[in-house]
A and B are shown apart, each in its own frame.
Chain A
Amino acid sequence: MKRTSSPRLPGALLCLIAAGLLSTAHGEEPAGWVTKSFTWLSRDLVEEGTDGKAPPLPIAALPKDSATKEDWARSVRASTATITRSLTKYLGPFPEGTVMLYDPASETLAIRTTSQKMEMLNALAGHLKQQHPWQPVFNVHVVEAEVSFVREILRETAATPFHDAAWAKLETLVEKKEANILGQLRLPTRSGQRVTATSGTEITVPSSAILNANNEARIVPKDEVIGLQMDVEPVLAPDGSFMDVNYALSWHINAPKRRMERVSFADSSPGFGLPMMDTRVASTNTSISIVPGHPRLIGVWEGAPERPGRCQCAFLNSEKMPGHSRLNDALSQLLSEHASPPPPGAPTGSYRMPDDIKLAIHRVPKSFLQLDAQGVDPFASSSNRSAEAKAAQHPDAFAAQRILTAQGIQFPPGSFAFYHPSTSFLIVANRQPNLDMVEAFVSGHSCRYFITLNFDLTIVEGEASVMREFAREAGQSADHSTIWKKMAALPSVKWLESARLETRSGQRASFEAGMIRQSVTSLKSGASKPSEKQGPSAPLTQEKPGKDASTASEDGRTLEYTSLPTGLRWKVDPVMGPAGDTSEVNVAFTYHYAPSTTVQEAAVPVLPVPHLQHHAARIELSTFMAHGTTRWLATWKPTGSPEHEGRDVLQAAFLTLNLLGLEPYPEAP
């Protein structure tokens, strides 16, 4: 980027000018005149031609540092002539004495005009700024902190999509070394495009074992990444104020553990050790709406067993990467230096807006301009009609005003309406009552903001008698918030697990956290033939069992591995009701209330390998929930595990729903 420095101005002053603080006060402007600079993209200065292409904007780069005063004066004259031609189309004529300087490298426009005209420019620039292109950059952090702290922020962030305070607290803890950043990835992308990033160790894990006639095994490996993986695909809202983000996160809570499982056959052939891999993984896959710049807590799960009292959480941060250069701070000073002074006396130029006239900007679709072509005489010859239609496609500067006038809105002297085609802004200056009529006319086009549904699932355990008491109470209402509060306050009720899942209406979301244990669940045989190739198998890639059998003696019997997840796994699939405050909620979850155990089958085993036994509650249901309510979803008795043997306890799952509207964050111009 070219920057032209202004040697006579101290840096601090430049900053103040850039901030607009000194724009009227740097001494050179006569009363009533203002100099200011804006980022004004060249695409907002040109209008698409009939071929759909934007025409070139013929403005030269700023003169070099060595340029003479005359070069600068010429540059100001050229900018003024070209930009005035362009801006007049939707801001009306500019008062005499208006000067402009445009820096195409930084897309900065410096302008000196009357304060009244500047007000209009300010308003338009503020709206244009919201339309400036930007690209999202995501940053995901996996952080380990105290369980109590994580539960606290989970509660704090339930009802808001803006988790800035929670993230700030966590950052402080990281600084104090009370929390650790375990993993981090940055994902820059653009609207509608998927970005993937991983960091970690690529290892191979067994995926199956092929047996030969001698009951010996050859392991077929597959690749796996142990570490952090994230996919993000954002779609920016048309006005750029928020984005819908589809993402998938996967994180290995701790390093995988290998174990050997003894394989023994019913016949007399000797057994052998079969390697297994156990990994502890948290993963989630969902779609939410995000206002960039605000961190979001996207997942909470138990930490590694070797770090008791700590749990892990993931935050998704998003930033806007501006798609244009930064403002050239020095430009307004350069303009003041090199432009000829404004005409003497008060600015009485060719245009002056009466005091009771106010400015309003609305965003309306381009189809708005087609209203100009309607009302054409239907009996006119077709050639005439097509000419009219053409005029609507490429309307003149006054089309917008004609349309509003046709609606009976009056335009007293000094008022006007223009349409800015590249941004779809309707700019109207009129008296307040007329502006209200304009607003009423165009309000049909107002934007709707989408809603994210925030679900918090909590699983607790308590004495059966206590739980049964509460259950009776729960039959009275569909909202169990009070029961939940009461229950949470009881010391006898143990808080087992909490998890967060956010999604949008109609989007399925899933979350899993816990140990994934490998096990052999089937022995397949006979289906595959040994391959013709006698060479070695294609290595370290995902292989289909049997395809790569390396020796003729392999008889196609394959021990197939299965990954058996334990811990908490859940899915929600909500559909918002028509009123927008209730939602149909489809939930399915599996909760393993005890670690899985290895079972060696009795005398005649089905498989030559011991298998895993799970202790889990599996719930699948569909219900309606309202915003801000908690529902007691299910109760079960943990059975079959040694630790629950002989105790009369019940476990219960509570689900809380919060609807998060994303107000567009208006940015100060």
Chain B
Amino acid sequence: MRLSAFIKSSASFLLLISALEASGAKPPVEDPWVTETVRGQFRPPGEQVSGPAADPFAPEYIPPPSPPRLPVTTDSSEKWEESIKKCTQWNAAALEELGVTLPPGTLFLWDASTSSLAIHTQSSVMPQIRKLARRSLTSAPETISVHATVLEGRQNALLPILEETYTSSDHRAVSNRLKGLVAEGKVRAVNEFQLETRAGQRVTAKSGAGTQETLSGQWNATRLQQHITEEYLSGFDLELEASEGTIPEQMEVSFVLKQANTLPTRRREKLAGSGDKTIEVPLADQHNSHLECTTQLVPGTPRIVAAWTPQYEGRPANQDSIHLLMVEANLLPVLAPETPRLKEILAQHAERLKSRAVKTAAVSVEKSAANPLPPGMESRSIKVPAAFLAEHPEDLIKKAEIPLPEGSECVFHSASRTLQVVNTPENLDAIQALADLPRFRGRPVLRHTVHILHGDGPTLRQWSKEMTNTADPASKWQEILKLASAHPEQVKLLELVRTETQSEKRISVFNATEHMLIAPPGKPSDKEAEEDTVKEIQEPAPSFEIQYCHVGLVVQADSIANADGRIIECNLALEYDYAPPTLVPEGPSANQEQYHRAKVATPLVMQSGVPQIVGEWVPLHLPESAGKDLLQIAVLRVDPIWIPESEE
């Protein structure tokens, strides 16, 4: 094969790319001329960001040209026209280097000091210019604005939405539907935060009712002598930290959301005083959902990043609601106010200047595609992801054993991430397939969904057996969910938790009641000691401290997806309390709690998008299950989400 030419000079590259654009772009019938102002700061054409020229101490260093200055308002019309010409030359060249074909007659007026750029051109090219202009504002500081909404709805309203959004990264349509449901009153916005931050800075927001809760205390024979409390928030506590992602124009956002859905449940616990007297200590059980996740967001695209079954007192018997956390973030450049009247001035001069149309490169490129192609071969331009260009594309193609026969060609442009290839149609398809492989799309965000089901033993056991042996676990899983919604008395969905994380970042979810209990006191004698043996102790008053214990669902997972995202290795630790703790009257310490808990710690290999049973247990020692055959099942599903790279 002919060795492919690697084009370094931007000029010849420009020919190629523009030729490509020109051949594909058919002018629309209706394409009016418009004058518009955008905010942008295009670099002068030909400036190299890296390489020897960027080193100011290098002998061949040429300082970059300074942008044209804007005349003052009182200046003559000629001066303005002169400025428009200069601005047009500068910006047209810059834009064409970026692959925009400007219609002849396009004009620019630019105030570099405020990054205000007025453009007079046909409306069809405006979207592309707007996008590139936004991207050109690299030197402006950026602020990140995050809008987070917590929505509440019943299972039958929200489960279908969660079902739909297993694999998608863009939830714009779902967000609109949810807005509709909110308007209909089927879904309620429980809380909403609008937060501003900048990259790498943590922002926190809290709202809710603060209550004072016991922390520690001291007592003597008859009463509490010292009682120390701390404030506890019933409501929302959101912490987030956003930074620019590894993929351009994406944001990495990490959240810590702590939601106490209701006020804590109060109870009193007795401590033995002297004789048969007891002292009561006020305690509270806080019903929390605590989620941590790290994900990647595209500015302006809302996403449901988490879902959970909120905690209430006496859960799970009396509720079937679900909460969603919907987040939308924007990355906004911080700029001086726009230069006034720029658009008007350009419009004033446009008609006169258009007649002396400024030449743009578009005119000169049409002939470039003249080279005849070898027989049986085609020329195709293929967009590739940034990671594809980490290696020499030709090496990559050879490694994938795609033939590069005599007459084939492979040219690439890294700025626009485009391959221009000449080969047989089959080989071109293979190169296209190679470029589309998941391994070049970076690391996916991993969305984890955990369900816990409770039900009658024979039914669930049979289902689990079928689920393990079926060739199609996804539809088997649907069956049980359907059964759970139709016959909750037979099988019930107890818990649902969804959250997402980046590969190798830990997921941690505490969807649990923080159960307050008194740590065993420094009491000189055991409670069981017979009464006559208890003596008055002439010692410091006995004291106690409060400790917390999670009662509910605790999920921690470390997951890594393999190169093609099909297999996910997941180290999972799951704990679930299938009943609230019971207090045993005669324990070795005064307040012995018994926890009814199932635990699994396992290194799993998951297939992407395939639900897998990760735990199965008999809820042991429950008074209500005596003589009954009951079973609980935990199911995990992990979906890799690739956030699409933005189009050039």
In the complex, A552 Cα to B540 Cα: how many Å?
Answer: 10
Which B residues are CB-close (under 8 A) to A182?
Answer: 618
Top 6 A-B pairs, shortest CB-CB distance = A550-B522, A186-B616, A199-B617, A60-B433, A539-B519, A58-B434
In the complex, A77 Cα to B631 Cα: how many Å?
Answer: 51
Segment at the A interface, from B47-55, B137-145, B325-333, B424-432: B424-432
Tell me if A197 and B533 are in contact (CB < 8 A).
no
Tell me if B615 and A186 are in contact (CB < 8 A).
yes
Other A-B contacts than A185-B617, A201-B597, 19 sampled, CB-CB below 8 A, are A74-B429, A77-B425, A82-B402, A181-B461, A182-B618, A184-B618, A190-B605, A193-B602, A197-B617, A203-B587, A228-B617, A228-B618, A272-B525, A272-B530, A319-B469, A325-B566, A534-B540, A540-B520, A551-B537
Given contacts A187-B600, A199-B619, A536-B521, contact A219 B526 (CB under 8 A): yes
A202 in complex: contacting residue of B400, B594, B605, CB < 8 Å = B594
In the complex, A270 Cα to B525 Cα: how many Å?
Answer: 13
In the complex, A221 Cα to B618 Cα: how many Å?
Answer: 27
Which B residues are CB-close (under 8 A) to A42?
Answer: 564
Task: Say yes or no for A188: interface residue by CB 8 A criterion.
Answer: yes
Task: Say yes or no for B595: interface residue by CB 8 A criterion.
Answer: yes
Which B residues are CB-close (under 8 A) to A55?
Answer: 399-401
A323 in complex: contacting residue of B529, B567, B631, CB < 8 Å = B567
Which A residues are CB-close (under 8 A) to B615?
Answer: 185-186, 197
Task: Say yes or no for B222: interface residue by CB 8 A criterion.
Answer: no
Can you spell out 30 A-B residue pairs with CB atoms less than 8 angstroms apart?
A: A1-B609, A49-B399, A55-B401, A74-B425, A77-B426, A81-B426, A181-B457, A185-B615, A186-B464, A188-B613, A195-B603, A197-B600, A201-B596, A203-B584, A206-B588, A217-B525, A218-B523, A218-B525, A219-B589, A221-B588, A228-B620, A258-B586, A260-B528, A271-B533, A319-B469, A535-B543, A538-B519, A551-B537, A551-B539, A553-B539
In the complex, A1 Cα to B477 Cα: how many Å?
Answer: 14
In the complex, A537 Cα to B472 Cα: how many Å?
Answer: 54
Tell me if B588 and A202 are in contact (CB < 8 A).
no
Please give the number of chain B residues whose Cβ is less than 8 angstroms from any Cβ of chain A in the complex. 84
Taking Cβ atoms with an 8 Å cutoff, the residues of A that contact B are 1, 42, 49, 55-61, 74-75, 77-78, 81-82, 85-86, 133, 135, 137, 139, 175, 180-190, 193-206, 209, 212, 214, 216-219, 221, 225-228, 255, 258, 260, 270-275, 319, 321, 323-327, 534-540, 550-553
Tell me if B540 and A199 are in contact (CB < 8 A).
no
0/1 interface trace, chain B 536-566, chain A, CB 8 Å (1 if under): 0101100111010000000000000000101
Tell me if B522 and A551 are in contact (CB < 8 A).
yes
A217 in complex: contacting residue of B526, B566, B567, B617, CB < 8 Å = B526
Tell me if B604 and A78 are in contact (CB < 8 A).
no
Given contacts A186-B616, A197-B601, contact A536 B589 (CB under 8 A): no
Tell me if B618 and A217 are in contact (CB < 8 A).
no
Interface residues of B in 409-468 (CB under 8 A from A): 425-427, 429-434, 436-437, 439, 457-458, 461, 464, 468
In the complex, A189 Cα to B571 Cα: how many Å?
Answer: 10
**Could you tell me the distance in whole angstroms from the C-beta of B237 to the nearest C-beta in chain A?**
27
Given contacts A185-B616, A218-B523, contact A196 B588 (CB under 8 A): no
Tell me if A58 and B402 are in contact (CB < 8 A).
yes
In the complex, A270 Cα to B589 Cα: how many Å?
Answer: 21
In the complex, A216 Cα to B525 Cα: how many Å?
Answer: 6
Task: Say yes or no for B524: interface residue by CB 8 A criterion.
Answer: yes
Task: Say yes or no for B25: interface residue by CB 8 A criterion.
Answer: no
Task: Say yes or no for B247: interface residue by CB 8 A criterion.
Answer: no
Tell me if A217 and B529 are in contact (CB < 8 A).
yes
Minimum CB distance partner of A252 in chain B = B620
Given contacts A1-B474, A217-B526, contact A321 B629 (CB under 8 A): no
Tell me if B598 and A197 are in contact (CB < 8 A).
yes
Tell me if A540 and B399 are in contact (CB < 8 A).
no
Given contacts A275-B586, A319-B469, A326-B471, contact A56 B399 (CB under 8 A): yes
Minimum CB distance partner of A187 in chain B = B602
Which A residues are CB-close (under 8 A) to B520?
Answer: 221, 536-537, 539-540
Tell me if B427 and A81 are in contact (CB < 8 A).
yes
Task: Say yes or no for B592: interface residue by CB 8 A criterion.
Answer: yes
Which B residues are CB-close (under 8 A) to A212?
Answer: 524
**Could you tell me the distance in whole angstroms from the C-beta of B223 to the nearest C-beta in chain A?**
18
In the complex, A270 Cα to B535 Cα: how many Å?
Answer: 11
Task: Say yes or no for B381: interface residue by CB 8 A criterion.
Answer: no
B588 in complex: contacting residue of A186, A194, A199, A219, CB < 8 Å = A219
Tell me if B592 and A204 are in contact (CB < 8 A).
yes
Which A residues are CB-close (under 8 A) to B545?
Answer: 535-536
In the complex, A135 Cα to B614 Cα: how many Å?
Answer: 12
**Could you tell me the distance in whole angstroms from the C-beta of A18 to the nearest C-beta in chain B?**
9
**Could you tell me the distance in whole angstroms from the C-beta of A193 to the nearest C-beta in chain B?**
4
In the complex, A271 Cα to B532 Cα: how many Å?
Answer: 10
In the complex, A387 Cα to B434 Cα: how many Å?
Answer: 31
In the complex, A180 Cα to B612 Cα: how many Å?
Answer: 26
B472 in complex: contacting residue of A226, A260, A326, A539, CB < 8 Å = A326
**Could you tell me the distance in whole angstroms from the C-beta of B491 to the nearest C-beta in chain A?**
16
**Could you tell me the distance in whole angstroms from the C-beta of B404 to the nearest C-beta in chain A?**
13
Interface residues of B in 489-532 (CB under 8 A from A): 519-526, 528-530, 532
